[in-house]
Structure 1
Amino acid sequence: MPSKTKKSLEALMAYIKQSKSRRATIVRGQGEPGHRAAPARGGNHDARIGSRIDVGEIIKKAGKEYRRYKFQLNLNAQDSTLKKKAAQDSHKVYSTADLEIKGDRTEEDEEQAMRDFEEQLSKNLRE
């Protein structure tokens, strides 16, 4: 049975994939390090999902630029298990994903980038 952290990550990915603009924000590497990529702070999605994707630093790999994203839990999570974990360390990074920054992606490229993003977050999940 998947852990509550894993379920929260799955709910967050479903939320991101529902909106073309949310996907585009991530795939294009937009945002400032330390700020949220999804979901927006406040509102019912933040507490219901119980986790977030924060924008990380730009890193270089093999001469290419990548944006690192960080999966973290929220202090205001509705789920008591997630809330308790977040209260222990609200800045703990449970997973990361690195996406190459490209300005000229086709829709197909964006879809592949989202699949890679989700796969990395899932594979790198540390509880």
Structure 2
Amino acid sequence: MASAARKAIQTLFDDAAKNKSAMKRLLNPAMEDAGSRVFPARTAKHDQRYGIRIDKGEPVKDKPNIIRLHLQINSNAKSKTLRDLVKEDSHKVFSVADVDTTQEVTEENLNKVKEQFLRNVKV
């Protein structure tokens, strides 16, 4: 089950790396609006294709410009494994990553965020 989540993370970040705007949304999210979606855009097509989404969490206490991102699974994911995971708890956070909202938008920084999500997967 963890491998399905890791594969989804890899696919999502591979696609984000191809688009500067997507990279900017992931690496420089606004500090406000916790709970809102960061990436990918909320469409049925994206929800099914990726099976996961990254939502904005709260600012990290005592760390200026750091925000925690949450990885959640979409209930209409194409992957049966991911759909089965989300049936247990539709609001469960399956992984987290802390992001410095002032960092430079580079593929190297994007990979660091991806590695945090991969390392922190809880299935």
Stretches of structure 2 that go unaligned for 5 or more consecutive residues are: none
SS class of match (1:15): helix
Is 1:112 the counterpart of 2:108 in the alignment? yes
Cα deviation per residue 1:39-77 (whole Å; 9 max; x = unaligned)?
A: 11124222011011111111134x533011011110010
**Which residue of structure 1 lines up, in the alignment, with residue 3 of structure 2?**
3
Deviation at 1:10, TM superposition (A): 1.0
Report what 1:47 is aligned to. 48
The alignment partner of 2:96 has SS state of strand
| Bigger radius of gyration | 1
- Indicate the SS of the match to 2:71: strand
Q: For this pair of structures, how many residues does the alignment match?
A: 121
Please give the alpha-carbon distance, in whole angstroms, between the structure 2 residues aligned to 1:94 and 1:86.
10
Q: TM-score, normalized by length of structure 2?
A: 0.87
Partner AA of 2:57 in structure 1: G
Q: Which residue does the alignment assign to 1:121?
A: 117
Which residue of structure 1 lines up, in the alignment, with residue 93 of structure 2?
93
- Amino acid in structure 2 at the alignment position of 1:20: K
Q: What do residues 73-110 of structure 1 show as CA deviations (whole Å, max 9, x unaligned)?
A: 100101111111112111111110001121xx545xx3
Q: CA deviation at 1:7?
A: 0.8
Structure 1 residue 115: deviation in Å? 2.0
Per the alignment, in what secondary structure is the counterpart of residue 53 of structure 1? strand
Q: Distance in 1 between matches of 2:90 and 2:75?
A: 6
Identity %: 32
TM-score, structure 1 normalization = 0.84
4+ runs of 1 displaced by more than 4 Å? Answer: none
Structure 2 CA distance for partners of 1:47 and 1:32, relative to 1, 3 Å: same
Q: CA deviation at 1:113?
A: 2.3
Partners of 2:57 and 2:26 lie apart in 1 by 11
